[in-house]
Every structure is written in C-alpha cells, then in structure tokens.
Structure 1
Amino acid sequence: MAARPLVARRPNERLGALIQEAGCSNAGLARRVNLCGAEHGLDLRYDKTSVARWLRGQQPRGRAPAVIAEALGRKLGRTVTIDEIGMAEGKNLASGVGLQFSPTVPGAIEQVCELWRSDVGRRDFLSGSTVASSALVEPSRDWLITGTDPQVARAGGARVGMTDVEAVRAMTAALTELDHRYGSGHVRPVVVHYLNSVVSGLLGGSYKEPVGRALFAAVSRLTELAGYMAVDTGQPGLAQRYYIQALRLAQAAGDRGYGGYVLAAGMSHLAASLGNPREIAQLARAAQEGARGHVTPRAEAMFLAAEARGHALMGDGAAFTTVAARAVSAMDRAGNGDDPAWIGHFDEAYLADELAHCHRDLGDAGPARRRAEEALAGHPEGRVRRRAIGLLLLAAAQTQQREIEQACDTGTRALELLGGLRSNRGMEYLEDFQQRLKPFAAERAVREFGERAAEPVAA
C-alpha cells in the first residue's frame, strides 16, 4: 500500500509579520499570551517553541487564537483579529459565525462584525441554518460563570463619544417603533445595514472606558432587536447568532440585567422552535440567577413569565401556577420611572399576553380568554403586531370554548391588522388558528373566514 502523502503546512506569514511589527520575541509573545489567558481563566503554558510551531503553520486549539490576537493587540495598541494572525480557518470559521461567546472583547467585536457582514452579504449558511440546542445552552453557561470584562477601552480609529452612543440609542428606539407598527419584514434590512455600515465602525474606533461600556450596551440592544427581527422574518437559525452576540455585548457592557433579558426574552422564546420546552424554562432560570440583584421588579416579572411559558408547554400546571403567581407579584411591585429603557415596554398588558399563551397551551380556555382580553385592552394601537397576535390568541380561546362564530369575527379583526404587516410570527399565529378551526369546517362562519384568509396578506 502506498504511503499517504504528507500535507505540508504553510508558514503563517501573517503571524510572523505581526510579531515583527510588535517587536516581540517568540518567548516574549508566549509570555504575553499566557498572562492574557490567565485573565480569562485559562491555564496556558506556551513557550518559544509553541510560537515557532504557530509560525510553521500549526493551529492552536480552542480559545487560544483569540487570546493570541488579544495579546498582540495589546502590544500594538489596536484591535487584532484572528484573521489577521492567520488563524481564522476560513470555511470552518464562516459556518460558525456568530455562534461563539468570545472569551475576549476584541474577539467579540470580530464575531459580531463578521456576523453583520455575512448577513448583509446574504450568506446561505446564515439564513438556512437551524436552531441548535447547544448553541443556546453553552453561551448561557459562559455568561453565568464569566465576570465582567476588566477593560473595554481601546485606542486606534476614529474617536467615539457619547453623542455617537446617543445616536445608536435613538436609532434603536425609532426602528423598534417601526417594527411594532409594520413588522420586521419592512425594517430588518435597514437594521442590518446600519449595524454593518455605521455601528461596526464605532466598535472599531477609539473610546475611553465609560463611553465603551455605554457603546457596548447600546449595540447589544440593537443586536438583540435584529435577532428578534430574524425570528419575525422566519429565520430562527440567524436569530440565535444575533442573540448570542447580543449576550456577549451585554457582558462587555457590564450589564447583567440586560444579559438576563436577552436570555429570557430572546433565547428562551427561540428555544420553543427546538420542540423542547424544558430549554425555555432553563434559560429563563439562568436569566434570573445571572441577573439577581441587578434588575427591577418589572424585569423580574418578565423573566418569571418566560419560565412560566416553559412549564405550560411541558404541561406542568402546578409549576406554571406557582411561577405565574410570582410574576404577577413582581409586576405588582413594579414602579414608575425606575426601570431601564429596555424593559419599559413590559407592562401589565404584556404580562397578560404571556399568561394567555400559557393558559392556551395548558388547554384552559376560560383563563386564556380573560388574559387575552386583558392584554388587548392594554396594548396601545401602535403595537399593531402585538394586537394582531392578541386577537388570534383570543380567537383560539373562543374556539376552545366552541364559540365559533365569535372566534371567526375576532379572527377577521386580526386579518385586518395583518394586512398592513410583514410579520412571519403573525402568519404563524394565523395558521395555528386556522388549524383549530378545521374540526368546524362545515360551519358557514368558518367557510367565510377561510375565504377572507385566502386573500393576499403581507408576510
């Protein structure tokens, strides 16, 4: 049998050039990498021989490339990416874009900027990917056990100030309002292009510590919004990448409360797509544990409501009742004016909406109907998508109560709102309602509703 030909490694010329630029010896770089790794809880024991192997083309495993890039970046006084040090591994990196909870701030910047670039470029591996359970659980674990980054300030690039941060916040507020009113199908392309063309430049700029923390907080919020918009446009695999990066950015901001929000409002709801409701409750509990002492009662209510959804989907009525009562109690303690902006929208109507979902999933038609009516009474007219979903929740409860004609009337009101939306979530609720009507297909009201629903609706 012929011997298998050896595959020669190519020398890592990029790494060699950066070492030369930094004025480091091999031993000096190894020492810097070990020290940098220790800051991240890694026991690295590299020496000059290790660096020589890297220069010959050997690829270190695990988190080491990100640490090497950070160590060189500190010496050079600028951000260095793992692509610059020749350790990106091309295709393997691309398929994992956005799925890593980076151990370093420079690595986090690189991850999220690459995600935005890939999204703008409409790479198929992003939009076509499925939601992986481990891709949600592992980052939540990393977030729970990792402390706040000791430093986020950076030098190099254009100066970034609080005015820039305020601009990102204002843009996020405006885009959120448009999303509520018209659906993500209209708005998501704008968000992604803004992140890629403007926000990436801010992250790569020069800022002091307070501005950096505020910048990461603002960008985390907008990245989470982009994740929700991916859900609303039927791209859960893309959404998980945005949520993971939003969680990492919240960590860099030092905002444990918002990190919990990403877990409870984003990841735990996305976990429903896995068909494993246990993940929903686990992620919501991780949010509660990791953000303990850092959130207001209103945020506590939201985290508990997310956990209640998981229990309801598992059919555990007793656990749901206990957790739902805690959510209601927390909301009763919520004050006015002491909440951060990211949780201000979660009011009594939103809580009622969440509980209506739970009662529906448990088959409790009466409570589901009451909570849906309570939610609709509280949602303002500007929450068009939320009102459409609320109407379909109410219609589902009315169907469970066998009030078919009334259910179809309610469903028709939802159709009117959906006509002005481009929302995949809205269409999913409509399809669910239509499935519930199938046993009553012979009734005139159902036939007429089916005809109206068959007319073109935005998606």
Structure 2
Amino acid sequence: MPALHRRPKKPNQDLAKLLTESGMSRKSLAQRVNELTNGRTAYTHTSVGNWIAGMVPRDPTPALVAAVLEERLGRRVTVADIGMGEVQRPRKDIGLDFLRNPDDALRLAAEYWSTVDRRTLLTAGPFAITAYGSPVSRWLATPADPAVPRFGGQRVGRTDLDELWAAAEEARQWDSKFGGGNWHASSVVECLKQRAAPMLLGTYTESIGSELFTVTAELARVAAWSAFDMGHHDVAQRHFVQALRLARSSGNLQTGCYVLATMSLQAFLRGYITEAIDMAEGAYERAKHAAAPRVLAFAKLAAARAYGRAGDERAATAALTASENLIDSIRPGTPDPEWIGYLTHARISADAAEIFRDLENSAAALRWNQQADAMPPGVYTRAVGIRLAVVGTAHLQANDLDHGLATGTRALEILSQVRSARAQDYVRKFTNSLDPWRHESQVADFIQRSRLALAGV
C-alpha cells in the first residue's frame, strides 16, 4: 500500500526556505533520506517537490528530513522548523542558563538563538534581578574558558567573522539613531539565528573560534540592549546572559567586562542600585589588567551612574574621574577597539549631567552639559535627546522654567523620532518635574504635545 500523505492548507514555505539555505538539491535531500532508512524508501526529487507543495509524509520521514537539514546546516532543526509538526514553545527558562561546561554552553547558545524569534520574545515577562545571580558569580569566578579548536558543521573563516562584525556595527548605529524599536533590531536576532548560531557548532581554529565567540557576544549584547530599550526586560536578560557566557567562551576578559557593565546599566535603570554597583565594579576589577582603557572607562562610568542614583556623590565623582582618566591615558599604540569608539569625553559628560541631576546638583549638571554639546544628534539621536531631557529637568531643579521648558521642547522634538520606551521614560520624568507649574499655559501646552508625540511613537 503506498505511503499516505496529509495536505496542509498551504505550501510548505519553511521547508523550501531551509532547503535553499542548506544548498542541497531536491534530489540530494531525497537520496540522503533514503540512505538513513537503509534503502527502505525510494524518495526522489519529485517527492521533495510534493512536500514543498504541502504534502506531509508518514513518520518517521519528517524527523529524517529534519535530521538531514540539521546535518547540513550545522544547527538544530526540528520537525516544526520544516513545517511538518506542531511548533513547540521554548521552555520558560531558556537563555538564563550559564553552563560551566564549554561544549554544553555552545550547544545551548546555538539552541537558544535557533529557536527564539522576535514573536516569542515579545511574550516574555518582567525583569528579575535574581536571574543574574548565577551568571554574574560564575563569570566573576571564571571569566575565560581555554581556547580549543572545534570540528563540527560548516567551516568558519575570516570572511564569516567580518560579516558578523559588520552586522554588529550596523546594528549599533541604527540603535543609537533610531532606538531599540527600529525595524533593523529584528535583523540582529535574525543574524544570530541564521548566521551566528550555526557557526558556533561549526569547524574552526582556536583563534577563529575565540573571535567568533567575541563577535557573537557583541551581537547578543546589542540585541539585549535593543530589547531593554523597548522595555522588554526579561528578553534583554536572556540575551545578556548568553552574551556573557559567550564572552567567557571567547577567553576575552575585555568582552566580558563590557557585557557585564552593560548589564549593570539595566539593573540600575530598573531600580536595583546596589546590585548594579557590584556588577559594574566587579567587571572593572576582574578585567583591569586585561581590558583596553576605553572599555574599563565604560565600566567605571556605569558604576558612577549607579552611585549617583544611590545619592553617593563622593563615590560617583571618584568613579567619574576614574573614567575620564582612563580615556586620557589612551595614546598612539594603546589597545583601543573600534566598537567602543563612541565613548568619548563628550559622551562621559552627557552621562555626568544625568549623574548630577540625580544628585540634585543642578549647577554641576549644567556645567557638565556644556561639554556634551559636541555629540552630533544625527548620529546619537537617542543619547542627545535623553541628555536634553535630563538637562531640562536640571533647569527645573534650579527653578528656571523658561530654560527648562525650551530644553524639554528640543528633547521632545528629537525623541519623537526614535522608537524607545526608555526615551519615553525620560520625557515622562521631565513632564512630571513640570508639576509645580502645571497651571501655566505654556506648561499645559507642552504636556498636551508630549502626550500626542509619545502616543505616535
């Protein structure tokens, strides 16, 4: 009796896409499936064409098709991935594991990025500081795995790494200019899923492997920051944990320092000040003899921001000074990675304005702001807009409504161009600071305009 088939409602685009990606012909896929059944089947290119048209073969053929594509692609492929089974939702804690064993960690990372897509992520829950406990402590205890070659799926080389670095740089630029909700943010996750994840289980030398883990960690960090910027805090945590574990796999303390310091910013902005201080200072101390000065300056700046929110002006000033001194220490020939070139004195000054705004020292906040004017709004759109919202609040702290409202208006004009929940929070904080003047006509007009502008973002 011939094998019966079930016909879905539409053509199997999932299978067609994966087959194209694998580079296999329909004939070679059919032959490989026949080999796995020891010749008990006699599928041909026509059979594969029928599957793509929507016919589903009897078990165990769907599992064998998935196995062949997994073998070819070098990453996990399920029956659901090829459109021949029910879609399985990822387990609730996926992405939060920081595994000790290097091989297990790579397999988990490949699985995570292969199975987590943007639609799934948008259903995630709130921020939980406890989720960072084990990952942070394990990185601080052992920040670097030994470098080893790997023999697996596709061969990874310099061209592959250059492509990933280019994707990371482009993603950073889009995030800075348009916010974490820009359409390009989803392409970062797609790059991790389609390009980086298969490479993790590929074939590469020690040096290529180390750089592969470094650039994948940076892609994951960018994806995490974009998710956080849009208020998807639990999603950001999962991305951050995977970024930190990949940083450890790379053996590069500098990468881990940068990821952990960025994680501390999320913690402090979510109100976990003490934990944020520990994370930022831990990142600095663990990498101070290995990381480039600009990376260490970022860690100290993250600590300064948390100290400022905690109301500790002495500690905030000391950390801020340390950050500036590290930037000043850079000389020709000093290690200075391009991917953190944005951290200049102007950028530190912008953050310093917020630090002293938090300390309710409006005079100091406004002095620091004068040094931050060099930041081009067309490049760092969100950062410039946020700084203006902060400075506007500092003017209001000094009871200067005219300057405060003028600055806040500029902030609103700039931030209405970006898709960022974090930016909206800064506008709301500024608007709340206008409460003592809420009966003034120009204030009421601004509040109305801000509501309309934010509703459209």
8 Å Cα contact 2:393/2:430 also seen in 1: yes
Question: Are residues 158 and 300 of structure 1, via their aligned partners in 2, closer, same or farther at CA, if it must alter by over 3 Å?
Answer: closer
Shift of 1:297: 2.3
Give the aligned CA root-mean-square deviation in angstroms: 2.6
Partner residue of 2:165 out of 164, 169, 174 = 169
Question: Mapping of 1:409-424 within 5 angstroms?
Answer: 409-424=406-421
8 Å Cα contact 1:101/1:108 also seen in 2: yes
Question: Mapping of 1:337-416 within 5 angstroms?
Answer: 338-379=335-376, 381-416=378-413
- Which residue of structure 2 lines up, in the alignment, with residue 451 of structure 1? 448
Greater than 6 Å deviation, 4+ residue runs = none
- Secondary structure of 1:193's match? helix
In structure 2, what is the Cα distance between the partners aligned to 1:372 and 1:248?
Answer: 36
- Which residue of structure 2 lines up, in the alignment, with residue 269 of structure 1? 265
Give CA-to-partner distance per residue, 1:133-174, whole Å, 9 cap, x none.
Answer: 222232121011115222442212111111100110011111
- Which residue of structure 1 lines up, in the alignment, with residue 152 of structure 2? 156
8 Å Cα contact 2:118/2:189 also seen in 1: no
Moved more, 267-276 or 334-343: 334-343
Question: Are residues 179 and 273 of structure 1, via their aligned partners in 2, closer, same or farther at CA, if it must alter by over 3 Å?
Answer: closer
5+ residue gaps, structure 2, are 1-73, 79-87
- Secondary structure of 1:185's match? coil
Question: Are residues 147 and 406 of structure 1, via their aligned partners in 2, closer, same or farther at CA, if it must alter by over 3 Å?
Answer: closer
Q: TM-score, normalised by structure 2?
A: 0.77
Give CA-to-partner distance per residue, 1:317-368, whole Å, 9 cap, x none.
Answer: 2222222222222222233563012322111112112211211111111111
Is the counterpart of residue 426 in structure 1 residue 450 in structure 2? no
- Secondary structure of 1:109's match? helix
In structure 1, what is the Cα distance between the partners aligned to 2:89 and 2:421?
Answer: 30
8 Å Cα contact 2:110/2:201 also seen in 1: no
Is the counterpart of residue 107 in structure 1 residue 104 in structure 2? yes
In structure 1, what is the Cα distance between the partners aligned to 2:163 and 2:296?
Answer: 29
8 Å Cα contact 1:356/1:368 also seen in 2: yes
In structure 2, what is the Cα distance between the partners aligned to 1:252 and 1:117?
Answer: 18
In structure 1, what is the Cα distance between the partners aligned to 2:208 and 2:124?
Answer: 36
Question: Which residue identity lines up with residue 253 of structure 1 in the other structure?
Answer: S
Give CA-to-partner distance per residue, 1:36-67, whole Å, 9 cap, x none.
Answer: xxxxxxxxxxxxxxxxxxxxxxxxxxxxxxxx
Give CA-to-partner distance per residue, 1:70-96, whole Å, 9 cap, x none.
Answer: xxxxxxxxx999x9xxxxxxx998111
Question: Are residues 116 and 93 of structure 1, via their aligned partners in 2, closer, same or farther at CA, if it must alter by over 3 Å?
Answer: closer
In structure 1, what is the Cα distance between the partners aligned to 2:332 and 2:360?
Answer: 34
Question: Are residues 127 and 376 of structure 1, via their aligned partners in 2, closer, same or farther at CA, if it must alter by over 3 Å?
Answer: farther
In structure 2, what is the Cα distance between the partners aligned to 1:336 and 1:111?
Answer: 40
In structure 1, what is the Cα distance between the partners aligned to 2:200 and 2:152?
Answer: 11
Question: Are residues 161 and 270 of structure 1, via their aligned partners in 2, closer, same or farther at CA, if it must alter by over 3 Å?
Answer: same
- Which residue of structure 2 lines up, in the alignment, with residue 134 of structure 1? 130
Shift of 1:127: 4.2
Is the counterpart of residue 294 in structure 1 residue 290 in structure 2? yes
Give CA-to-partner distance per residue, 1:161-214, whole Å, 9 cap, x none.
Answer: 111001100111112112211112112211111211121122122112111111
Give CA-to-partner distance per residue, 1:204-258, whole Å, 9 cap, x none.
Answer: 2211211111111111111100000011111111111111111111111111011
Is the counterpart of residue 279 in structure 1 residue 275 in structure 2? yes
5+ residue gaps, structure 1, are 1-78, 84-90
8 Å Cα contact 1:155/1:206 also seen in 2: yes
8 Å Cα contact 1:298/1:331 also seen in 2: yes
Is the counterpart of residue 239 in structure 1 residue 248 in structure 2? no
Shift of 1:409: 1.3
Is the counterpart of residue 333 in structure 1 residue 329 in structure 2? yes
How many corresponding residue pairs?
375
In structure 1, what is the Cα distance between the partners aligned to 2:356 and 2:104?
Answer: 43
- Which residue of structure 1 lines up, in the alignment, with residue 437 of structure 2? 440
In structure 2, what is the Cα distance between the partners aligned to 1:296 and 1:216?
Answer: 18
Partner residue of 1:323 out of 297, 319, 336 = 319
Question: Are residues 256 and 433 of structure 1, via their aligned partners in 2, closer, same or farther at CA, if it must alter by over 3 Å?
Answer: same
8 Å Cα contact 2:438/2:444 also seen in 1: yes
Give CA-to-partner distance per residue, 1:262-284, whole Å, 9 cap, x none.
Answer: 111x2111112442211111001
8 Å Cα contact 1:98/1:115 also seen in 2: yes
